[in-house]
Amino acid sequence: MTDYTDTARQILATNDRGGYTVPTDRLYPFQWNWDSAFVAMGFATYDVPRAYRELERLIEGQWADGMIPHIVFHTPSDTYFPGSSVWRTHHSIPTSGITQPPVFGLALKRVHDTAISQGLTDTRRRSRILYNAALRWHRWWYAARDPENTGLVALLHPWESGSDNSPAWDIALARVSTTTETTVARKDTGHVDAAMRPHDEDYRRFIHLVDTYAACEWHPERQWAAAPFKVAEIQTTAILLRSGEALLEFAREFGLDSDAQQLETFNARSRSALLAQWRPQLRRFVSRDLISGDDINAPTQACFCPLLALDLEQTMLEAATAEMNDWSDGLSVLFPSTQPTYSGFEARRYWRGPVWAVINWLLMDGLQRNGKDAMAEKLRRSTVLAIETKGFAEYFDPLTGEGCGGLGFSWTAAAYLWFLE
Ligand code: DGY
């Protein structure tokens, strides 16, 4: 075990709050949905029972309709805004009212496969409970967020993408009012340099959306009708499809034929919908703004996430990877969350340019799936070097390599452990 591996494990231990892991102390003092899925895969490299526990604690927050919220507020903390009282949800354990990228199914499969390879007891029972929760969530995604069966699932809040202030939302979010019923009392800028975080105006819009959906009592159909922000999103759909493939393997292994049939239908629909979002002249995939009906042409990391769940034909693959190489030219760390030559690029501001280890993890998976092993290896080495040079930061400046945002970050530690496997 290297010193860095040891540090990564220590970070996960320090951020453990009793079977679940906070992303980092104070800035994010609760359990976050997709963070926990990545963290579970990190734990799977050395402590599989703890990896299961991470996922089990997350589904304590699952709603009756199947939605798994983006935050589970297991224990109170006053270091974060918006806390549970802003969300006004009605779950027995306080949660937020929106969701986050469904990495869960993919994580569960990896935890399960590791448990099987180690011959651990109780594996099938634990996996089966988590599989049921994941399938209920996938059904929720397709019912609540794709009511017209297009195959692309929609986000009603930028936070649901995990890429909060991405340039991808600039046009769609500008339509959302900056007025709020809730007082916006940010805490994040007390923990992290404001120049690395979203602007106040973004926050007013984020909270306007929370107020709007709380007024709908978080009812999916009322939210769908009231939503001033509605984006059919390719990164989320790709993750959902990749997790859907994992769930299909479970359904077959467990002999659950009708589940398998339903998952095949979901997966086939999303696969063809994602493929239809390819734009040859841009050499990338695009999301769609469902309110204007327009393509979202802002160049972000999401444009390459469909590789995760698609087996691309050669021309498309060569074009997408050539585009990725162009974006990477001259950078200290790969892969930027926004194309560096784009007007909206900001090297240190959260999702407007910085490199995120977990995005690299998804991109690497997609590149490997499509036979681009050398490029995946380039991303892996770049991420490992950034972490070993600058520490386990939340994200990295692609121009200078500087570690930015929160420090001692759980998902960066988890990614490091996975990358060293
Ligand atoms: C935040 O508060 O910064 C989160 O990204 C929202 O989940």
Question: Does residue 280 contact residue 319 with C-beta atoms inside 8 Å?
Answer: yes
Within a 13 Å sphere around the CA of 254, how many CA atoms are in the beta-carbon half? 22
**pLDDT 10s digits, 264-274:** 999 999 999 99
State the Cα–Cα distance between residues 258 and 136, nearest whole angstrom.
14
Distance between CA atoms of residues 181 and 210, nearest Å: 10
- Summarised one tens digit per residue, pLDDT across range 159-173 is 999 999 999 999 999
Instruction: Kindly report the number of other CB atoms within 10 A of residue 368's CB atom.
Output: 16
User: According to the model, what pLDDT value does residue 230 have?
Assistant: 98
| Ligand 1 probe mutation, 164, 165, 184, 202, most atoms within 8 A of CB | 164
β-strands 295-296, 395-396: how paired? unpaired
The neighbouring-strand residues paired with 275 are: none
**pLDDT (tens digit per residue) in 351-386:** 999 999 999 999 999 999 999 999 999 999 999 999
* pLDDT band for position 15 (cuts 50, 70, 90): very high
The per-residue pLDDT for 94 is: 97
Question: For residue 190, how far is its CA from the centre of ligand 1 (angstroms)?
Answer: 14
Cβ atoms of 51 and 41 within 8 Å: the answer is: yes
Does residue 197 have its Cβ closer than 6 Å to ligand 1?
no
- Split at pLDDT 50, 70, 90, the class of 326 is very high
Question: Average per-residue pLDDT in the chain?
Answer: 98
Task: Tell me the torsion sign for CA atoms 216, 217, 222, 226.
Answer: positive
**44: CA distance to ligand 1 center in Å?**
25
Hey, what amino acid is at 26?
R
Alpha-carbon 396 to chain mean position: 17
What is the arithmetic mean of pLDDT over 298-307? 98
Residue-wise pLDDT tens digits, 28-68: 999 999 999 999 999 999 999 999 999 999 999 999 999 99
State the CB neighbour count (10 A cutoff) for residue 255. 8
Which of 22, 26, 27, 28 is the best mutation target for the ligand 1 pocket, counting ligand atoms within 8 Å of the beta carbon and taking the most? 28
Cα-to-centroid distance, 195 and ligand 1 (Å): 16
Distance CA 189, CA 195 (A): 9
- Mind telling me the catalytic residues? 164, 394
pLDDT at position 38:
98
Ligand 1 centroid vs 208 CA: distance in angstroms?
A: 15
Q: Average pLDDT, stretch 2-30?
A: 97
- Given CA atoms 343, 345, 351, 357 in this order, what sign does their dihedral have? positive
12 three-state secondary structure: helix
Question: Are the beta carbons of 264 and 248 closer than 8 angstroms?
Answer: yes
Band (1; pLDDT cuts 50, 70, 90): confident
ipTM of this predicted structure: 0.94
Q: Which residues in 52-168 belong to E strands, given as ranges? A: 71-72, 154-155
Q: Is 159 in the pocket of ligand 1 (CB under 6 A)?
A: yes
Neighbours of 199 (CB within 10 A): 11
- Strand runs (DSSP E) across 253-338, as ranges? 278-279, 284-285, 287-289, 295-296
Mean pLDDT of 275-287: 98
- Cβ of 35 closer than 6 Å to ligand 1, yes or no, is no
Q: Is 78 exposed, middle or buried (0-12, 13-18, 19+ CB in 10 A)?
A: exposed
Task: Tell me: pLDDT of 290 over 90.
Answer: yes
Q: Check if 57 has its Cβ closer than 6 Å to any atom of ligand 1.
A: no
- The three-class DSSP label of residue 285 is strand
Does 164 contact ligand 1 (Cβ within 6 A)?
yes
Rounded Cα distance between 309 and 88, Å, is 35
Residue 70 CA: nearest ligand 1 atom is: 7
Range 178-190 average pLDDT: 97
pLDDT at site 2: 82
